[in-house]
Amino acid sequence: MSASRQRDLTPTERTLSIAAVVIASFGVGVSFGVGFPLTALTLEAWGEPKWVIGLGGAAPGIATVLVLPFAPRIIRRLGAVTTIVVGSALAALCFLLLGATTSAAAWIIVRFIGSAGVALPWLVGETWINLVAREETRARAIAIYVVSFFAGFAVGPQVLNAVGLTGMAPFVVGALGSAFAGLPILLAYRLAPAMSFDHATHAFSALGLAPVAFAAAFIGGFSEITYLSLVPNVGLAAGLTSGEALRLLSIVTLGGFVLQFPLGWIADTWSRMGLLMILAGAFIVFSLMLPFAFGRPMAAEILAFLIGGVILGFYTIGLAMLGERVHVSQLAAANAGFIIMYQAGAIVGPLAAGAAMTASPIIGFILTMSVMMALSGVGLWVLRAKG
């Protein structure tokens, strides 16, 4: 049963319900857009080794993987709207606590707790939009949701560039972004979709329901989060200033912002599986070209723009495939499994790339990303028959 069939909404109600989640995702994006580069560059400024920086990038993924198996139970108890508000508040508080943190170990622990909080609105928001969206426009609706998130993510590095890495300003911005994620949900609480639960389906047992979608989530996790966590450090190793490295990160996010709706349109009108395979090949080609482009700012920015569109495309298409194939009563658990797979990739990618960058900051990063994507492309090909 298509997820969009679980509840009848008027066209206006459907639009407003989707809009609430889309606007909320902007706040979550600001939170991530500040948190990832702030962590990477702060730990770099403290002189921490590359593996510690990689661990800092992986901490949100680890937290999400641990909390999401229990999230459907939390949603059943608190309700969708309250779950989003509580999670957003916890993430905001942890940003403020980071401003008083002076050691790498404490920083990573606080990031872990705050990321566990933001995992809740993340899960509820994506389940919400898949329940409300119609099948014929599902990928485009999800693309708009993802664009909003990336717009927030793109704002984050620019805010850091404007306010600097010292003082409380970057932490206050991250806290405000996290808190904002709950506001439109509160205003649209009457339009929240009814979330039913199949008690026999859990996050991990759901993995067999749509294997290609879950594989796409893993690919999106390692490609997206590794680039967003470590591309500033790769840029610094290539001789860029911190401002230029943050600009490169913003261009990656801009590519995700601009290219998602066209990818969503293609995914609604063509083969989603075929599009995934094309994106995997494009990622490898663009990544291998990147080291040769660092000395040519325009070429580097074009590649960063294209890479941004590709890495986010895996998530957009995978989430659309999930909503297409999973029954409404299984969707919350399946979405939890989807995000867990995404975060599993987000753990593996930064740790593997961070370790490889210890030997060679640029080549280690590029080769790790390319090899992981090649192996993942083979995995997609094997799973294609199961859809």
CATH of the domain at 211: 1.20.1250.20
CA-closest candidate to residue 261, choices 126, 133, 141, 128? 141
CA–CA separation, 65 and 207 (whole Å): 14
Quick check: 233 pLDDT over 70?
A: yes
pLDDT tier, 5 (very low <50, low <70, confident <90, very high otherwise): very low
Lowest mean pLDDT among 8-12, 28-32, 181-185: 8-12
- Average pLDDT rounded to a whole number, residues 20-25: 92
Range of the structural domain that residue 187 is part of: 3-386
CA–CA separation, 18 and 320 (whole Å): 14
Higher pLDDT, 41 or 364: 364
Tens-digit pLDDT profile for residues 96-125: 999 888 899 999 999 999 999 988 888 888
CA–CA separation, 196 and 82 (whole Å): 16
SS3 label, residue 99: coil
- Average pLDDT rounded to a whole number, residues 277-286: 95
CA-closest candidate to residue 69, choices 340, 327, 326? 340
pLDDT tier, 198 (very low <50, low <70, confident <90, very high otherwise): low
Over 368-383, what HEC string results?
Answer: HHHHHHHHHHHHHHHH
- Average pLDDT rounded to a whole number, residues 363-370: 93
Q: Show the tokens assigned to 304.
A: 């960063």
CA-closest candidate to residue 238, choices 358, 363, 54? 363
Indicate the number of domains in the chain.
1
Lowest mean pLDDT among 45-54, 88-97, 105-114: 45-54
